[in-house]
């Protein structure tokens, strides 16, 4: 996947996702990390959209945090992070939607 083709906001979100995974000592960069990064992103569209449809973003964050805390961890700076299968699928679907829009 070519992240350089992402918008600046998307690239920032991916970077924040990786940072969150590193901070939680997760071996995988997961959908949960991505969701937290998107909800917390300043001047972005995800949080306002969730709020507009009636979602409680604070509850979502709490539940996602809890799920991350239950996930396996690794310690040591030599551990390489991997993108989880779920996040790969999310990126694939997003890429597919942008390259073959259904109009």
Assess contact for 6 and 14: CB atoms under 8 A. Answer: yes
d(CA 20, CA 34): 8
- Residue 10, CB-side half-sphere exposure with 13 Å CA sphere: 9
Domains of the chain: 3-99 (1.10.1780.10)
Chain-centroid distance, C-alpha 43: 16
Q: Please write the tens of the pLDDT for every residue from 2-47.
A: 777 788 888 999 999 999 999 999 999 999 999 999 999 988 899 9
Handedness of CA 83, 92, 35, 4 (dihedral sign): positive
Question: What tokens appear for 27 in the block?
Answer: 């071996």
Q: Please write the tens of the pLDDT for every residue from 42-87.
A: 888 999 999 999 999 999 999 999 999 999 888 875 567 899 999 9
């Amino acid at each position: 996947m070519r992240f350089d083709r992402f918008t600046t906001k998307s690239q920032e979100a991916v970077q924040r996702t990786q940072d969150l995974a590193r901070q939680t000592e997760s071996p995988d960069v997961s959908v949960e990390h991505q969701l937290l990064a998107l909800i917390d992103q300043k001047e972005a569209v995800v949080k306002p959209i969730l709020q507009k449809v009636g979602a409680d973003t604070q509850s979502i964050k709490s539940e996602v945090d809890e799920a991350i805390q239950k996930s396996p961890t690794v310690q040591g700076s030599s551990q390489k992070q991997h993108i989880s299968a779920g996040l790969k699928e999310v990126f694939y679907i997003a890429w597919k939607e942008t390259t073959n829009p259904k109009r």
